A and B are shown apart, each in its own frame.
Chain A
């Protein structure tokens, strides 16, 4: 018995490979990426009568040519990592096309077991498959399975173990021959290969076939071989020879021959009893992709995904948020005032919490997408929308990503970009990723709300509608431009299988959701800590110099002494000690300062310091109201001073200095350092623009839903008018994505290059659009008052 068997799962998309993988390995799975690429790699283990089996789930492919990344990955794994055996999951209800991959796997010379999956569906359609005959025709064991119900899996595993332990085979008889002309050429190439040191790896026949097919990946592989020149010379001779005979390229001739072999095998092994049963899937499709109903249902479905993702996750997001604010509060009571506290509370907990707060949202979105994918509706979305979106360099499947990113205002680009994982076309997927951040995500809404509230009250709905239209227009426009410049080149052929509708398994949906969500938490989590600290540092250091701080302290001290020296105040609050104990005093009904003061004085009267009270033959009721008033004034002034200090401090941080230095750049669109630093802050998360504006305008920290003060303030600031507000709205809509989005872009594209590109092009676009808005507005005198 081998210590550990390594088995690879290969099969067509939609053949039920994932279902079998889940059924075999259960929860003992690990999801990662194939080295250097963003294609998911799933691995898992199972134990069967003491034998440990390690299962690697290869990407679903129709073939093993070098057509797509997935195919190269699958092929390289079989050749280079030489698993002990390959399980080929075959959809019995779609046998002909599925066997094409099987034939290629046979050719590779690896040990193979065919899992004849969805045998129930095939039988339901009236097809009877002679497994024994099929097995002898292919020369490998064939095991009927039903992955969904777990039928046949035990015998599949037993077959796998017995095949692995079977020492025979490898050079099995060639069951599939290509006719004497092709075979002659294959023989010549194989002969040359036999003299090289490559002979040990993979089947020679397979190598010869691939060379004859002109497979560029394989030609690269034989680069280091001794007789490389000779081999390539023979290959090109053979290719043109066959081309002359068949009038077509050898790869086409071979594909033809493989299907010929398969058709023969099918004729012998499959018997179809004519049943005129109505095909349920086709009936459903008649409605769902109906010319009129289809698009309406599509919109409704997309809307439901949106509602499910954002409303469904809302309570959980709230819990996450309140957990992190609870954590922040508790930590701030433990830690002493100072830099460390600021770092931990404002930097780490707020930053990491803000990002992890997305987790429920992401999980809900992935669950919704898993339903769309597993039922087969996702391909119908692509089918219906392809015509619209391909003109903009996008793909039918881009729609979902754009919707989730904020196609209806309020989405989020993070799950949106992750939703592009379902897209197989690399260029279209990249374009979708790059334009998704232009949509109106939920974090931009507070900024819009602030500015609309201040400058366009009453037009809220219509402005929001306009903004939605603009962001769609911008995303499509940007897609078109990117696709015809940076990412030019022909689009991938739209060859899309429309699988039958299927009822997904709940377990499969959960596994899907869990895997992808966990990837987000793990991968995003590592970098987020670093960036959170960085942003915190930028917005904190160097801050005020000690002299500047002394000036503010001095002002505070003066304010305090003036307050205490006030003739009215000094009657009841003699010194700072009195003030402190008043402020620390807790009263049952502290509705306002006057009531609190009454309670405070009463309690002091009762307890101690009778000599003080003896001095005061005054009616408290008469005196406490003016004192309370003075106190309120004092508090307000104190807060104003503190906010002023915060604003000065912010201006003196790195971010503030950058903001000031950038004033000349942003002057043409009317932004001063306060706006600039707010935009820099928005890099952490777009809603931070509001709170940073608050700090910069000495409004103190602005909580959500409390912007009315800031709105008022902005309205009265010089330089602020509706045009300026709209310019800023446009800029916020389009400029650099927040860093979480950038982290996800880096993750999903695998390249810093594209991450930086996403940051730069969006900001340039934002600047240009803002400039156009500003200039046009100024020229025509729109929105200046």
Chain B
């Protein structure tokens, strides 16, 4: 294993890291509000979750728009690559985004 990928806690999402964590300014997807959109900077979390979600199209640079929160504020609904998907807030917190902007 190369030194850059040593297992350590991620500052942003508090998960065990198996990959390089970005230091730049990011916003957790779980902090986005309905009607906001932005681009994925980094996906954290355990490897299974990361792979799963990447296979669903959550790739760095992909645009995500938040549609709404469920009636009890969790989970949340997004549009990505033209389809709708829902994630729990806890999982959405593992997706680090750039600064949100208002969706058209």
Residues of A within 8 A of B (CB): 62-63, 65, 67, 93-94, 96-97, 100, 240, 243-244, 247-249, 251-252, 255-256, 259-260, 282, 285, 289-292, 294-295, 379, 383-384, 386-388, 390, 493-500
Asked if A65 contacts B51 (CB within 8 A), the reply is yes
Bound CA span A493–B58, Å: 14
Bound CA span A494–B81, Å: 19
Bound CA span A290–B34, Å: 13
Bound CA span A240–B5, Å: 10
Bound CA span A93–B82, Å: 8
**B50 at the A/B interface (Cβ < 8 Å)?**
yes
Asked if A291 contacts B71 (CB within 8 A), the reply is yes
Question: Please, could you name 26 A-B residue pairs with CB atoms under 8 Å apart, sorted by A?
Answer: A63-B55, A67-B55, A96-B82, A97-B81, A240-B2, A244-B2, A244-B5, A247-B19, A249-B19, A249-B47, A252-B50, A255-B54, A256-B59, A259-B62, A282-B67, A289-B68, A289-B77, A290-B71, A386-B75, A387-B70, A387-B74, A387-B75, A494-B86, A494-B87, A494-B88, A495-B91
Interface residues of B in 56-75 (CB under 8 A from A): 56-57, 59-60, 62, 67-68, 70-75
* Contacts across chains A and B counted by CB atoms under 8 Å: 123
Q: Which residues of B have CB within 8 Å of A494?
A: 75, 86-88, 91
Bound CA span A259–B59, Å: 8
A493 interface neighbour in B52, B57, B73, Cβ under 8 Å: B52
Q: Which residues of B have CB within 8 Å of A244?
A: 2, 4-5
Q: Which residues of A have CB within 8 Å of B81?
A: 94, 96-97
Q: Which residues of A have CB within 8 Å of B70?
A: 289, 383-384, 386-387
Bound CA span A282–B2, Å: 47
**B11 at the A/B interface (Cβ < 8 Å)?**
no
Asked if A497 contacts B84 (CB within 8 A), the reply is yes
Q: Which residues of B have CB within 8 Å of A285?
A: 84
Known: A255-B59, A493-B88. 13 other contacts (CB 8 A): A67-B52, A96-B57, A97-B57, A244-B2, A247-B4, A259-B57, A289-B70, A289-B71, A289-B77, A387-B73, A495-B85, A496-B86, A499-B83
Q: Which residues of B have CB within 8 Å of A499?
A: 83-84
**B1 at the A/B interface (Cβ < 8 Å)?**
yes
A386 nearest CB neighbor, chain B only: B75
Asked if A495 contacts B52 (CB within 8 A), the reply is yes
Shortest beta-carbon distance, B49 to chain A, in Å? Answer: 5
Q: Which residues of B have CB within 8 Å of A282?
A: 67
Closest 3 CB pairs of A and B: A244-B2, A247-B20, A387-B72
Bound CA span A291–B73, Å: 9
**B53 at the A/B interface (Cβ < 8 Å)?**
yes
Q: How many positions in chain B have a CB within 8 Å of any CB in the partner chain?
A: 39
Bound CA span A62–B83, Å: 13
Shortest beta-carbon distance, B57 to chain A, in Å? Answer: 5
Bound CA span A62–B56, Å: 7
A255 interface neighbour in B49, B55, B71, Cβ under 8 Å: B55
Q: Which residues of B have CB within 8 Å of A248?
A: 5, 18-20
B73 nearest CB neighbor, chain A only: A387
Q: Which residues of A have CB within 8 Å of B24?
A: none
**B19-61 interface code vs A (CB 8 A; 1 in, 0 out):** 1100000000000000000000000000111111111110110
Asked if B82 contacts A495 (CB within 8 A), the reply is no
Shortest beta-carbon distance, A549 to chain B, in Å? Answer: 66
Given known A240-B2, A255-B51, A495-B52, contact A294–B71 (CB-CB < 8 A): yes
Asked if A251 contacts B71 (CB within 8 A), the reply is no
Asked if A243 contacts B2 (CB within 8 A), the reply is yes
Asked if A65 contacts B20 (CB within 8 A), the reply is no
Q: Which of B60, B72, B73, B74 is most buried by chain A, counting CB atoms within 10 A of its CB?
A: B72
Asked if A65 contacts B5 (CB within 8 A), the reply is no
Asked if A67 contacts B48 (CB within 8 A), the reply is yes
Bound CA span A62–B52, Å: 9
Given known A65-B51, A383-B77, A387-B70, contact A100–B57 (CB-CB < 8 A): yes
Asked if A240 contacts B52 (CB within 8 A), the reply is no
B53 nearest CB neighbor, chain A only: A495
Bound CA span A125–B45, Å: 35
Shortest beta-carbon distance, A213 to chain B, in Å? Answer: 9
Shortest beta-carbon distance, B104 to chain A, in Å? Answer: 10
B84 nearest CB neighbor, chain A only: A498
Bound CA span A583–B69, Å: 75
Given known A100-B55, A247-B4, A252-B51, contact A386–B74 (CB-CB < 8 A): yes
Q: Which residues of B have CB within 8 Å of A94?
A: 81-83
Asked if A256 contacts B54 (CB within 8 A), the reply is yes
Bound CA span A121–B47, Å: 35
Q: Which residues of B have CB within 8 Å of A496?
A: 85-86
Bound CA span A388–B71, Å: 11
Shortest beta-carbon distance, A392 to chain B, in Å? Answer: 14
Asked if A247 contacts B5 (CB within 8 A), the reply is yes
Bound CA span A499–B84, Å: 7
